[in-house]
């Protein structure tokens, strides 16, 4: 490319930045089951399930003129299946937005030093977008400018923490939801694309120095290799496989891949880098997150200072801050006291990405499902359809949001399972090999359904009827999708045309 990037390459690179979410889930899993099961799932899940899922869904979308996974369901299975899957995705996206808005709000409240870099990145991304798309400036110069400005924001945040007083977590959660409302309506090349593009550099920066710090400090692992998860009534299977999602396999990836990424790729050749490559890079980040909390921190107060005991940090300040403190210990020889802020900013960029990407995709699905398919005209209005998603997400986020995490994980992994099932049927109809997508689909279906059943039984005993209702609805929608898929498989086996 003649020594410089192109706007098309920026779009492809943004596909990497737009993918990374939920990277401290290994911290949750390691505290419950130990670090060995978590690491094994990250390694093998990302290679044999996650990379296959992400690449295959992206390629199918590219071959179908950039259609979403829900639209592909209509051509592959049936219109009824498409509507049911779209309803499933819409509900799941509301859960995703609620979880990330609430966890992000809590992080901003307990770590006010990251407020400036978190929201400052929005304006930096807008500036970089203008520099490249409107002012036609050199992309390398624009990129360097954006990265330097972000680093200045991190230093500025360390010296000027923004604290908004009582009930800060609730206030920040509302602010994040309002941000998602506005950002999801803006043109994709104005904010989402340049922000995701810069986020990719933040990721690689954090990965490089995280592993360099690991080499320099060579810490010992303090967390037990195996822990009896039944002590908190959480069996290893299926729960660990839905709690650790993005580092191994995540249904949200197929929504992004078929909802926005396929429309931005410069070439089909980039699909391997964005699909397989980004998934493996995400696994590397998940593994680093696992190392940060299990080796950078301590498992109990007899091993080290109480402010570095990671189960205590998880309880008091949340998983994002916990990861940041562990990362800070690894990179202390390099960044001294700035390590935690750099790590938390790295995760916060992806939380912001998740919020507006999920809201945008939810808007598309809502407009298509209720506005077009069901003929409810008001849902064709982008502002109304977005507002409904934000209101529903807000109701969940401002409640007991921590109870949402497991059902969010199960719903997210069910999206991955159903996405792989749709891809399998697509390949089957074209007489292509299907085992490499079918087996992961079956494993994730069994795992996700088992997790949902486990959670709904807990919600029933806790008399949490809202989450119980959500769980039952998701199970019913999944059963319908399976019924429709089996019908298509039967027809294909009989040699009939679908």
> What are the domain boundaries of the chain?
7-492
- Whether pLDDT at 62 is above 70: yes
pLDDT at residue 8, rounded to an integer: 46
Q: How far apart are CA 435 and CA 356, in angstroms?
A: 35
Cβ-proximal residues to 364 (8 Å cutoff; 6+ apart), any chain:
68, 259
Least confident of 2-16, 162-176, 465-479: 2-16
Q: Identify which of 419, 454, 392, 305 has the alpha carbon closest to the alpha carbon of residue 72.
A: 419
Range among 386-390, 405-409, 454-458 with highest mean pLDDT value: 386-390
- 235's CB contacts (< 8 A; 6+ apart) are 229, 454
Give residue 18's pLDDT.
44
Question: How far is it, in rounded angstroms, from Cα 373 to Cα 381?
Answer: 14
DSSP secondary-structure letter at 298?
B
Separation CA 325–CA 313 (nearest Å): 9
Q: pLDDT-derived band of residue 230, with 50, 70 and 90 as boundaries?
A: low
- pLDDT higher than threshold 50 for residue 94: yes
Residue 229: pLDDT band by 50, 70, 90 thresholds?
low
Interhelix angle 236-243/35-45, rounded to 10 degrees, is 60
Beta bridge partners of 298: 309
CATH-assigned architecture of domain 7-492 = Up-down Bundle (1.20)
pLDDT for 201 equals 85
Backbone angles phi, psi at 244, to 5 degrees: -85, 105
CA gap 387, 295 in Å, rounded: 43
CA atoms within 13 Å, Cβ hemisphere of 404: 25
Q: Which of 21-30, 185-194, 387-396 shows the highest mean pLDDT?
A: 387-396
Residue 458's pLDDT is: 85
Q: Give the N- to C-terminal CA distance of the chain in Å, as an integer.
A: 44
pLDDT tens figures, 120-141: 999 999 999 889 888 988 888 9
Give, in degrees to the nearest 5, the angle at Cα 481 between 45 and 366.
95
Residue 16 has pLDDT above 50, yes or no: no
- Cα(213)–Cα(329) distance, rounded to whole angstroms? 9
Percent of residues, the chain, with pLDDT higher than 70: 93
- pLDDT on residue 494: 78
Q: Is the pLDDT of residue 50 over 90?
A: yes
For 263, the token pair is 């429309």
Q: Who's near 413: CB < 8 A, 6+ residues apart?
A: 241, 242, 245, 249, 250, 251, 444, 447, 448, 451
* pLDDT tens profile 332-354: 999 988 888 888 888 888 788 88
Query: Range with the lowest mean pLDDT among 6-10, 141-145, 219-223?
Result: 6-10
What gap in Å lies between CA 57 and CA 251, rounded to an integer? 10
In the predicted structure, residue 480 carries a pLDDT above the cut 60: yes
Instruction: Write down the pLDDT at residue 6.
Output: 42
Residues whose CB is less than 8 angstroms from the CB of residue 495 and which lie 6 or more positions away in sequence, other chains included: none
27, 314 Cβ separation under 8 angstroms: yes
DSSP string, 197-224: HHHHHHHHHHHHHHHHHHHHH-PPP-S-
pLDDT at 420: 95
Q: What is the pLDDT of residue 132?
A: 86
Q: What are the φ and ψ backbone dihedral angles of 381, each rounded to 5 degrees?
A: -80, 120
Can you tell me whether residue 371 is helix, strand or coil?
A: helix
Report residue 439's pLDDT band, with 50, 70 and 90 as the boundaries: very high
Segment 30-56 mean pLDDT: 95
CA dist 130 and 181 (Å) reads: 21
pLDDT digits (tens, 9 = 90+) for 157-182: 989 999 998 899 999 999 999 999 99
DSSP 485-497: HHHHHHHHHTT--
Contact call for residues 331 and 293 (beta carbons, < 8 A): no
For the stretch 195-219, pLDDT in tens is 888 888 888 888 999 999 999 999 9
309: helix, strand or coil: strand
Whole-number pLDDT of residue 267? 82
Residue predicted with more confidence, 13 or 130: 130
**Does residue 85 register a pLDDT over 60?**
yes
Q: 357: closest CA among 83, 10, 17, 1?
A: 17
Q: What is the pLDDT of residue 402?
A: 64
CA dist list (Å): 440 to 32, 231, 437, 474, 480: 25, 29, 6, 20, 20
Is pLDDT above 70 for 98? Answer: yes
How far, in Å, CA of 376 to CA of 372, rounded? 7
In this model, does residue 147 exceed pLDDT 70? yes
**Which has more confidence, 44 or 461?**
44
> Which tens digit of pLDDT belongs to each residue from 276-326?
988 998 899 999 999 999 999 998 888 878 788 888 888 888 778 888 899
- Structure tokens belonging to residue 468: 């119980």
């Amino acid at each position: 490319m003649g020594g410089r990037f192109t706007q098309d390459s920026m779009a492809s690179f943004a596909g990497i930045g737009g993918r990374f979410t939920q990277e401290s889930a290994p911290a949750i899993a390691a505290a419950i089951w130990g670090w060995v099961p978590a690491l094994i799932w990250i390694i093998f899940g990302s290679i044999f399930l996650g990379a296959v899922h992400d690449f295959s869904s992206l390629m199918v979308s590219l071959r179908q003129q950039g259609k979403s996974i829900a639209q592909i369901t209509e051509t592959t299975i049936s219109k009824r299946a498409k509507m049911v899957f779209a309803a499933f995705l819409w509900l799941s996206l509301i859960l995703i937005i609620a979880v990330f808005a609430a966890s992000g709000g809590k992080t901003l409240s307990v770590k006010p030093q990251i407020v400036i870099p978190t929201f400052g990145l929005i304006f930096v991304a807008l500036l970089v977008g203008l520099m490249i798309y409107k002012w036609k400036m050199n992309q390398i110069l624009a990129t360097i400018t954006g990265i330097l400005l972000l680093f200045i924001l991190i230093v500025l945040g360390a010296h000027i923490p923004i604290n908004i007083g009582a009930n800060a977590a609730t206030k920040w959660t509302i602010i994040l939801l309002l941000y998602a409302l506005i950002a999801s309506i803006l043109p994709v090349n104005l904010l989402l694309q340049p922000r995701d593009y810069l986020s990719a550099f933040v990721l690689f920066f954090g990965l490089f120095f995280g592993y360099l710090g690991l080499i320099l400090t060579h810490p010992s692992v303090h967390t037990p290799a195996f822990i009896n998860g039944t002590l908190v009534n959480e069996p290893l299977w299926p729960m660990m496989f839905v709690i650790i999602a993005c580092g191994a396999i995540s249904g949200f990836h197929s929504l992004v891949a078929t909802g926005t990424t396929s429309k931005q790729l410069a070439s089909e050749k980039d699909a391997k880098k964005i699909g397989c490559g980004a998934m493996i890079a995400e696994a590397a980040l998940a593994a680093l997150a696992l190392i940060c909390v299990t080796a950078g921190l301590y498992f109990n107060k007899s091993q080290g200072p109480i402010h570095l005991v990671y189960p205590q940090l998880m309880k008091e300040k949340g998983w994002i801050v916990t990861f940041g403190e562990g990362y800070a210990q690894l990179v202390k020889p390099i960044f001294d006291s700035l390590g935690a802020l750099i790590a938390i900013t790295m995760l916060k960029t992806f939380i912001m990405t998740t919020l507006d990407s999920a809201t945008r995709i939810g808007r598309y699905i809502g407009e298509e499902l209720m506005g077009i398919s069901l003929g409810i005209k008001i849902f064709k209005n982008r502002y109304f359809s977005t507002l409904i998603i934000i209101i529903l997400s807000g109701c969940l986020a401002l409640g007991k949001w921590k109870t949402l995490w497991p059902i969010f994980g199960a719903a997210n992994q069910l999206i991955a399972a159903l996405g792989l099932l749709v891809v399998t049927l697509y390949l089957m109809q074209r007489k292509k090999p299907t085992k490499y997508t079918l087996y992961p689909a079956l494993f994730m279906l069994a795992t996700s359904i088992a997790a949902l059943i486990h959670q709904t039984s807990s919600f029933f005993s806790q008399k949490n009827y809202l989450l119980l209702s959500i769980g039952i609805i998701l199970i019913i929608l999944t059963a319908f999708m399976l019924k429709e898929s089996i019908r298509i498989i039967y027809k294909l086996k009989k040699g009939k045309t679908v």
